[in-house]
Chains A and B, each alone.
Chain A
Amino acid sequence: MSIWRSINERIYWSLLLVFPYGFRRTNRDEMMAVFRHHWELSRFPRTPRVWWLVAVDAAQVLPHEWAFSFAELYRHMKQTNWFTVPAQLANEFKFGLRSLVRKPGHLAIAMLSLALGIGFNIVIFTVINGLVLQPLPFNGASRLAYVVKQHNTEGWITSPDREVVRVLSEEEEFFEVVEPYSSSTLTMLGGSEPRVVFAISVSETFMANFGVTPLLGRGFIPGDSDAAETSIVLSEHLWRSAFGEDRAIIGRTLEFEGEEYLVLGVVAGNFRMAMTGTPDAWMLHGEDPGQTAVLARLTPGTTIQAASSRAAAIGAGLEEQEGLSGEDWTEKVVAPPAFLGNEFTRTLWVLLAAVGLVFLIACSNLANLTLAKGLSRFQELGVRRALGASRLQVVRLFMVESAILSVMGGTLGLLLAHWGLSMVQRIRPAYVSALDFVTIGPRIWLAAFGISAIAAILFGLLPAFRLGGADFNPSLRSGSRFSSGTSGDRKARKALVAAEVALALPLTIAAGLMARTVYESTHQDFGIALDGLISADVPLPDDRYGDEGVRGAFWAQLSDGLEASQLIESFAVTSFAPPRFSILFGEPEVENLTLSGAAQAMVYTIPSPPGYLEMAGTAVLHGRSFVAEDASQDVVIVNEAFAKRFASGADAVGRRLKYAGESDNRWHTIVGVVQNVVGTAGADAADRIQIYSPTTSARGGKVLLRSGAPIEMVLPVLKSLVWAIDPEVPIRQMVSVRKNFMDIFGRQRFAATLFASFGLVGLLLSAIGIHGVVALSVNQRLPELGVRMVFGAKTGNLARTVLVDGLGPVVVGAMIGLGASVALVRLVPEGLVGTPHLDPAMTTGLTLSLLAVGALACLGPLIKAIRLDPATVLRSD
C-alpha cells in the first residue's frame, strides 16, 4: 500500500502548483505532512475520502489566496517609485554590460550561437517567404490563381484551350477576372549591341485589373490596342540596366524585331509573375494571345478547389461538344506557388526544418552557457540575496543581460543573414531566378530581433529561476571558489551536450548523403563529351529570316567563318542545345513489333545535322552515324534505351519506326544505336527514348562549339563572325554545356550545399558546447585531480577521467543521433538523397569524425588537467 501512498503524495505535490508561488513556497513541505497525516488516519475507502477532503480544501482556499497574491503585487507596484526605475535600469544595464564584457569568451560564444542560429533561419525563412508565402504583387493577390491543363497521369502542366478560357471568363460567379497572357523573347535594337528581352503580352485591361503600377508614364489602358502606334511598357530593371534610368525614355520609339514600339511607361519594382519569372517588357497581344498562361482572380469566397472543379467540368463539357484535346488532360485552377515546382518548395521546407535544428543546437548552447555562467556567479548572487535583493531583482539582472545579448546577437544575425542570402542567391538553382529579387525586409528585421529576444530571455531566465530561489547559504559558508552547482546541474549540462550532438549528427549525415548524390550525378557519363563544349544562342529574327533559303544562307556563311577560325576545333548548327531536346508526346510505333510493358508518354527527339554526333562525342554502339546524304532520307538513329525497350541490341538497326501523332506518317529506318544522353529530367528519365533525326541546319538557332579556349575568348570570335554577316542578329546565353548539365542537378546541389553548411555550423556549435562542459568539469574537479596526482595517479589515468567526462555525453548523443538519422532519412523527399538508406561506410565515417571533433574540444581542458601542479591547486583552496 505504501507505493500507492507515495503515488498519491506525488500527485498532490504536483497539484500544489495551483497555489500562488508565495503560499506554495512557504507551506508546501508542511502541507505534504498534513496530507500524509490525513492519508494515515482516513477510514475506508481511503483514497476517495482523502481526495474529496483535499478538493474541498483547495476550493475553499484558492480564491482567497490568489486574490491576496494579486493584492500584494498591486501594493508592491504602487509602492514602487517609478521615477527611479530608469536610473535603476541604467544601472543594471551598465552592470550587465560590464559582466558580459568581463568574460569575452562567453560573450563571443553566446553571440555567435545566437547569430548563427538566427542568421540561417532568417535566410531560409526569407527565401520561403519571398517565393512561397508572399503573395504576388497584384491586386487581391490572395485570390490569384492560374488556370492550367494538367496531364492526368504524368502531371505535366500546359496552357488550357482557348475556348475553355473564353467560357471561364464568363463564369462570373467563380472568376472576377480571367486574363490570358503569353511570353516571348524579342530582340531589342537601339543599345550598344542587340539585346534579347523577355516580354509578356497582355490585354489592355491586364494592368488595370491586377494593379500593376507605373513608375514613369503610364501602363496600358483600354484603347491602346486600337492606337496608331504599337506601344510597350518597360520594366524598372530593363529601364535601369539598358537605359541608365533615362527619364526621357517615355515617348521614344524602340525597335523590336523590325517593328517600332512607342514607350508608354515604366512599371515599378521587380514585378514577378509566378509562371514566367520577371518580365523585362510588357506588350499588348491582339485577339489571339498565342501560347498562353492564364492568370485569374477568383471571386471572394471561392476556393481554389471549387474553381478547379468548375474548370474541370467546363473543360470536360467542351471536350465532348467540340472534340477538344483528349481525355488524358484535365483543366485545373492552381495557386501561384505551385508553379515554383513542388519539389523545390518541398526542398525549401526541408531546409527550414534543418535550419530549425541548427537553431535548437544554438539554443542548447546558449542554455548551457548561461547555466555555467549562473553557476559561476552563485556566490555573487548569494551575497545579493543576503543583502536583501528580492528574487525579482535577481531575475531582472539576468533579464537585462539577456536583453543586451539579444540585441547584439540579433544585429550580428541580421548581418550574417544579409551575407547568407547573397550566398544562397549565388548557389541557387538556375531556374529559380525569382530568388534574386528576395530581400530581407523590415518585417523580417523585427522577427529576427523578436526571435533573438525570446531565445535570449528564455535561456537567460532559466538560470535566473534556478538560482533566484536557490539556497545560497552553503555556498556562502563554504566560500570555495570551486563551488559550481549541484550534480543535477551537471547532468543538465551533459544532457544539453548530448542533445546538441544528437541534433548535429543527422544534419551531417543528411549533408553527406546529399553530397554523395550530387557527386554521383555530376560525375556520371552524360553521353556527351563536355570538355570545351560551348553552346550559344543565335536566334535569327523572324522578320528578315522567315524564309528557309535566307536562313540557310546565313548558316552556310557562318559555318565557313567558323571553319576558318583557329580557335574553334569543331562546331554544329542545330536547334536544341543539350541537355535540352525537343519533346514528342507518345511512343513511336515499330514495324511488326508489339511491345510489352508501360509505354513512355514522352520521348526526346534530337535534330542531328551530319557530324553532330561526332562533334558531341556521343558514341555509336551499333550501326552507323549520319552522313550528309541522310538529310533527304527517312532515317533515324535511336539510343540504348530504345534498343532495350524495342529490340535487343543490334536487332534495332534496320527496323522501321513511325512517330506518334499525325504530323509525320512516314516510316523511318533505324540506321544506328547510340549511347543514352542525360536530358533535363536527369536521373528520373535515364531510360527515356531518344530519337535522332538528320536535318539540314536550316532552322538553326543554336551553335555548338568545341574549343580549347575559354568562353571569354570564343565569344568575341563568334560575335565578329555573326555581325560581319548581319549586325542586327543578337547573340545570347553563351555558356559551357557543362554548366547546363550541372544545372540539371541545381536543386540537389543547392540543398546539399546548404545542408553541408548547416551540418558544419551544427558541429561547430556542438564542439563549443562540449568544450564548455569539459572545461567547467575540469575546473570543478581540480582539487580532486590534484589530490589524485599527489597520491600518484598517472597522467594517463587523469586524461581518461577528463575524456570520459567530456566524451560520455557525446557518445550518448551520437547514438541517439544515429537512431534519429535512420528514421529521418526516410522523411527526406526522394531525389534529394539518391538512396533512401544510410550508407554504412559514410555514416560510420561521419560519426567518427564527430567524435573526433568532440575529442578535439576536450583537448584544452585535458592539457590543463595534465599540466596540473598539485601543490598550487591544493594551496589555493
Chain B
Amino acid sequence: MAELPDLTNSMFFILLALADEPRHGLGIVDEVRTQTDGRVKMGPALLYSSLKRLSRLKFVRPAAKPTAEADPRRKYYRITDAGRRALSAHGRLWETAVEIAKNKQALG
C-alpha cells in the first residue's frame, strides 16, 4: 500500500480501458463510455492531459498499430507492467472501499 501511486479518476479509467488491448485516444473515450453506460464522459483535454501524465509515470506507452488497416494518423497507447500494478493496486483499494461502504450501508 505504501507505494500506491497518485491516480486521478480519469487516469484510473484510462488504465482500465487499456487493460485488455491497446487503443487510441478516441477508442479510450469510447470504451470508457460503453463500459460505464455513458456515465463517465471524458473531455478531450482531460483525456490527453491524463495520458501525458500517465506516460510520464511510465504507466502507458505508445504502441504499434495493432492492425495494418488501422488509421495511420492515430496514436495508440498500451498499458505497461507498472501500469498494470498501479491499476490492480488501485482496483483493490476501491474494492476495499466498496466493501466498507456496503457494510456501513453508505451506498444507499
Closest to A30 in B: B25
Contacts of A58 in B (CB 8 A): 43, 45
- Asked whether, in the complex, the Cβ of A54 is within 8 Å of the Cβ of B44, the reply is yes
Q: Compute how far the CA of A532 lies from the CA of B30 in the bound complex, rounded to whole angstroms.
A: 98
- Asked whether, in the complex, the Cβ of B33 is within 8 Å of the Cβ of A41, the reply is yes
Q: Compute how far the CA of A354 lies from the CA of B24 in the bound complex, rounded to whole angstroms.
A: 57
Contacts of A61 in B (CB 8 A): 43, 45-46, 49
Using known A-B contacts A41-B33, A54-B44, A57-B43, determine if residue A34 contacts B49 with beta carbons closer than 8 Å.
no
Contact residues of B between 24 and 82, Cβ < 8 Å to A? 24-26, 29-30, 33, 41-49, 52, 73-75
Closest to B48 in A: A27
Say yes or no: is A724 at the interface (Cβ < 8 Å to chain B). no
Nearest CB of chain B from residue A35's CB, rounded to whole Å: 5
- Asked whether, in the complex, the Cβ of A57 is within 8 Å of the Cβ of B45, the reply is yes
Say yes or no: is A56 at the interface (Cβ < 8 Å to chain B). yes
Nearest CB of chain B from residue A102's CB, rounded to whole Å: 40
Q: Compute how far the CA of A54 lies from the CA of B46 in the bound complex, rounded to whole angstroms.
A: 9
- Asked whether, in the complex, the Cβ of B29 is within 8 Å of the Cβ of A34, the reply is yes
- Asked whether, in the complex, the Cβ of A60 is within 8 Å of the Cβ of B43, the reply is yes
Number of contacting residues on B, CB 8 A?
Answer: 19
Nearest CB of chain A from residue B95's CB, rounded to whole Å: 26
Contacts of A30 in B (CB 8 A): 24-26, 44, 48, 74-75
- Asked whether, in the complex, the Cβ of B75 is within 8 Å of the Cβ of A19, the reply is no
Say yes or no: is A867 at the interface (Cβ < 8 Å to chain B). no
- Asked whether, in the complex, the Cβ of B43 is within 8 Å of the Cβ of A54, the reply is yes
- Asked whether, in the complex, the Cβ of A33 is within 8 Å of the Cβ of B25, the reply is yes
Which residue from B24, B44, B52, B73 sits with its C-beta under 8 Å from A31?
B44
Closest to B8 in A: A60
Contacts of A64 in B (CB 8 A): 49
Closest to B30 in A: A37
Nearest CB of chain B from residue A26's CB, rounded to whole Å: 8
- Asked whether, in the complex, the Cβ of A37 is within 8 Å of the Cβ of B29, the reply is yes
Nearest CB of chain B from residue A339's CB, rounded to whole Å: 63
Say yes or no: is A830 at the interface (Cβ < 8 Å to chain B). no
Nearest CB of chain B from residue A66's CB, rounded to whole Å: 11
- Asked whether, in the complex, the Cβ of B44 is within 8 Å of the Cβ of A23, the reply is no
- Asked whether, in the complex, the Cβ of B52 is within 8 Å of the Cβ of A23, the reply is yes
Contacts of A171 in B (CB 8 A): none
Say yes or no: is A218 at the interface (Cβ < 8 Å to chain B). no
Contacts of A31 in B (CB 8 A): 44-45, 47-48
Which residue from A23, A33, A35, A38 sits with its C-beta under 8 Å from B49?
A23
- Asked whether, in the complex, the Cβ of B44 is within 8 Å of the Cβ of A34, the reply is yes
Nearest CB of chain A from residue B49's CB, rounded to whole Å: 4
Chain A 42-63 interface mask (CB, 8 Å, partner B; 1/0): 0000000000011011101110
- Asked whether, in the complex, the Cβ of A53 is within 8 Å of the Cβ of B41, the reply is yes
Contacts of A26 in B (CB 8 A): 48
Say yes or no: is A29 at the interface (Cβ < 8 Å to chain B). yes
Say yes or no: is A537 at the interface (Cβ < 8 Å to chain B). no
Q: Compute how far the CA of A34 lies from the CA of B24 in the bound complex, rounded to whole angstroms.
A: 11
- Asked whether, in the complex, the Cβ of A37 is within 8 Å of the Cβ of B26, the reply is yes
Q: Compute how far the CA of A60 lies from the CA of B10 in the bound complex, rounded to whole angstroms.
A: 11
Closest to B28 in A: A34
Closest to A36 in B: B26
- Among B24, B30, B42, B45, the one with the most A-chain Cβ atoms within 10 Å of its Cβ is B45
Contacts of B48 in A (CB 8 A): 23, 26-27, 30-31
- Asked whether, in the complex, the Cβ of A57 is within 8 Å of the Cβ of B46, the reply is yes
Contacts of B47 in A (CB 8 A): 31, 34
Q: Compute how far the CA of A65 lies from the CA of B48 in the bound complex, rounded to whole angstroms.
A: 10
Q: Compute how far the CA of A53 lies from the CA of B30 in the bound complex, rounded to whole angstroms.
A: 15
Contact residues of A between 56 and 96, Cβ < 8 Å to B? 56-58, 60-62, 64-65
Closest to A43 in B: B38
Contacts of A38 in B (CB 8 A): 29, 41, 43-44
Q: Compute how far the CA of A774 lies from the CA of B41 in the bound complex, rounded to whole angstroms.
A: 55
Contacts of B45 in A (CB 8 A): 19, 31, 54, 57-58, 60-62, 65
Contacts of A62 in B (CB 8 A): 45
Contacts of A37 in B (CB 8 A): 26, 29-30
Q: Compute how far the CA of A341 lies from the CA of B24 in the bound complex, rounded to whole angstroms.
A: 74
Closest to A18 in B: B45
Nearest CB of chain B from residue A54's CB, rounded to whole Å: 6
- Among A31, A34, A41, the one with the most B-chain Cβ atoms within 10 Å of its Cβ is A34
Nearest CB of chain A from residue B103's CB, rounded to whole Å: 32
Q: Compute how far the CA of A27 lies from the CA of B73 in the bound complex, rounded to whole angstroms.
A: 12
Q: Compute how far the CA of A259 lies from the CA of B43 in the bound complex, rounded to whole angstroms.
A: 96
Q: Compute how far the CA of A30 lies from the CA of B46 in the bound complex, rounded to whole angstroms.
A: 12
Nearest CB of chain A from residue B73's CB, rounded to whole Å: 7
Closest to B74 in A: A30
Closest to B75 in A: A30
Contact residues of A between 2 and 27, Cβ < 8 Å to B? 19, 23, 26-27
Q: Compute how far the CA of A38 lies from the CA of B28 in the bound complex, rounded to whole angstroms.
A: 12
- Asked whether, in the complex, the Cβ of B25 is within 8 Å of the Cβ of A53, the reply is no
Contact residues of B between 85 and 100, Cβ < 8 Å to A? none
- Among B44, B47, B49, B75, the one with the most A-chain Cβ atoms within 10 Å of its Cβ is B44
Using known A-B contacts A23-B48, A23-B52, determine if residue A56 contacts B43 with beta carbons closer than 8 Å.
yes
Contacts of A23 in B (CB 8 A): 48-49, 52
- Asked whether, in the complex, the Cβ of B46 is within 8 Å of the Cβ of A33, the reply is no
Closest to A42 in B: B41
Contacts of B29 in A (CB 8 A): 34, 37-38
Closest to A12 in B: B44
Closest to B29 in A: A34
Contacts of B25 in A (CB 8 A): 30, 33-34
Q: Which 5 A-B pairs have the closest CB atoms?
A: A57-B43, A31-B44, A34-B44, A27-B48, A61-B45
Residues of A within 8 A of B (CB): 19, 23, 26-27, 29-35, 37-38, 41, 53-54, 56-58, 60-62, 64-65
Can you report 24 residue pairs joining A to B where beta carbons are below 8 Å apart? A19-B45, A23-B48, A27-B48, A30-B44, A30-B74, A30-B75, A31-B44, A31-B47, A31-B48, A32-B44, A34-B29, A34-B42, A34-B43, A34-B44, A38-B29, A38-B41, A38-B44, A41-B33, A57-B43, A57-B44, A57-B45, A57-B46, A58-B43, A61-B43
**Sample of 12 further A-B pairs with CB below 8 A, known A57-B46, A64-B49:** A26-B48, A27-B44, A27-B48, A31-B45, A34-B26, A37-B26, A53-B41, A56-B43, A57-B43, A61-B43, A61-B49, A65-B49
